[in-house]
Amino acid sequence: MLSARNPLPYQPLLKNEEDARYLWTISEDGSAVSRALTGIERVFAIYNEDLYGQNCPFMGACLNLDSNKSTRPSFTLAELTSRAIKAISHTRWAYPTVAARIEDRVNFVYKIENASDVDDWARRTVKVVEADGGWLALREKLSRTTKIPSDDGDFCLFYLIVNHKDFSKGEISRFDILMHLNHALVDGAGIRTIMNEFLERFASPLPGEELVWGNEIRGLLPPALLIEKEDEPEFSNDETQGVPVKISGGQDVGLPVYRPDIHAPSSANRGTLLVTHTFTENFLPKLLHVGRAHHVKLSSVLHASLLKAMYDLTETKPAANNVYRGGQAMDLRNGYLYSEYCEKKKYVNNAVAFQHIVVPCMLFADGGFWKAAEYIRDEWPTVKKKGITKAGEKLAEGFLAIQENLKNATSMAPTKPNTCPYFVSDPPGSQLLSPSYKVEDSGVEGLEMVLESYQIATDQSQRIVSARSHSWNDKLTLCLVFNSTLNPKEKMQEFLDRWVEVVEGVCENRYV
C-alpha cells in the first residue's frame, strides 16, 4: 500500500542522499504526490515564467475522417466535444504528467482526484474553437495572448479547431488539434507520445472499468537525472578521418540582429511565427542515400545545410577565426537511460539535452559543405562522452545562481547562442504516431481518423531562431520558428528558402 513514508513503486538508484528529493512522495493526507524539480527543469520553468513562454512546446496536427463505406463521414459538434473530453481523461490515466503542476518554481505537484474532479479538469483542459486558419493561425494568436499555466493553474491545454463552415453546419469531417504545455514536463518525444495517446483514445476510449483514479500515480516516473546510466553509452562512429580543423577562441557569428533596439523579451514583443517547407515524397530516400555515401547521418547533413544557408546569406563573409556556435538537441532515451526508460512510449518526461556544436565558418568557403557535415558528425562522439545529464545540471546550477542575483529575470543573458539558430532533428514521426486511427462506436462502418500532417515547435520570445526537421509519410519537413518582432517574417522565409535550396543541392551532389 502506498503511504506518505513510501515513495512510488519504482526504486531508481540514488547517487546521493540529496537526490531523494527528486522521488515522487505522497503527502501525509494522501491528497497529492510531489517531487522537487531538477536544475534543468527549473530553468525551463523560469524561461516560461520570466521570458514570456520561451521554449514552451506546442504541437499542431491536421486530421480528417475517411471511410470506404461513406462518402463524407463526419462528427457532430457534441460528439467531437464528448470524444475529446474522454480522450484527455484517458490520456491522463496513461500519462498523469499532463495534469502535474509546478509550484513556486521548485516542485512538481500532482493532485490525486476522483472521477468527478478528473472530468472537471478534462473539461477545462480541452477547448473546441470555431476558427478558420487551423492550428497555425490559432497558435499565432495564442502566442501573443495566453500563457502556461492557464488561469485555472493547468500546465497542459488542448484545442480542437473547426472551420466556420463545418462548425455552423454541425458536420465535422476535418479538424485540427493544438496541444500546448510546459517544457519542464515533457520534451519532443513526450509531446508526440501524448498526442498519439490522445488520438488513440479519441478514436477508441478505454473501458470504464479500467480507470480506478488514484492508481494512475504509478505512471509518474522519475526525472532523467536519476535514471541516467553510470557507464558511458555505446555508440558507433563511422571510420572516417573527419576534419582536422579545430578553432578555439573564435568569435561566434550568426544571423543579423534585425532589431538592435530591443534588448530583452517583453510582453509587448510576444508572438511566435513559423515557416515550413515539405519536400516531395521521393526526395527523402535520395537524400538519405547521398548521406550514406558520405558516411554522414541525416541530422548532420541538415544541420550543416542550415549553417551553409546562413553563410550564403551573409553579406560580409565571416573571418577565418569565426565560428557558428549553434545548439543541437539530443534524446537521452537513445541509450543514455536505463533500458526500461529508453522506450519512448513509456517515458514522456523531459529527457533532452542541448549541446553546443561549434563549427568553423571557413569550412563553408568556396562551395564547401561535406567537410562541415563531417565536422558536425565527428563532434558528437566527444559530446556524448561528457556525462550529459550531470553536465546539464552543472550548467543549470550556474544559470540559477545568476538568476538569483537578478532583480529582473528578463534582463538575464541568454544561455543559448544569441543569433546562431539551434537545431532539432526529430526522428521520423512513424516511430511514435500512427497514420490513421480506427474510430469505434461511431455508427459509420470502417471509419478512420487520418493524421495528415503535424508540426512541433516552441514559443520564442528571444532573438534566437529554432530550426527543426522531421519526416512524416516519407516526406521531409524543414521548419523555422521565431519571434515575430525580433525576426521579420520575410527574412525568415528567405532563410528557409535558402536552407531548402542547399538541401536540394546536397541531394543533387552540387557541393564538395
Task: Please write the tens of the pLDDT for every residue from 472-495.
Answer: 999 999 999 999 999 999 999 999
Of 355 and 505, more confident: 505
Task: Please say whether the beta carbons of 478 and 288 come within 8 A.
Answer: no
C-alpha span between 78 and 76 (Å, rounded): 5
What average pLDDT score do residues 113-138 get?
Answer: 97
CA distances from 221 to 6, 349, 383, 439 (A): 15, 8, 26, 30
Q: Is the pLDDT of residue 399 over 70?
A: yes
Q: What are 5-28's pLDDT values in tens digits?
A: 334 455 566 778 888 999 999 999
pLDDT of amino acid 301: 98
C-alpha span between 254 and 314 (Å, rounded): 9
Q: Is the pLDDT of residue 245 over 60?
A: no
Low-confidence winner among 325-339, 380-394, 447-461 (lowest mean pLDDT): 380-394
Amino acid at 482: F
At 290 the three-state DSSP class reads: helix
Quote the mean pLDDT of the chain.
89
Q: Is the pLDDT of residue 408 over 70?
A: no
H/E stretch holding 396 reads helix 388-404
Of 11 and 240, more confident: 11
pLDDT of amino acid 11: 59
pLDDT of amino acid 380: 79
Q: Cell numbers at residue 488, please?
A: 521579420
What average pLDDT score do residues 105-113 get?
Answer: 97
Task: Please say whether the beta carbons of 241 and 371 come within 8 A.
Answer: no
Low-confidence winner among 48-57, 118-127, 386-395 (lowest mean pLDDT): 386-395
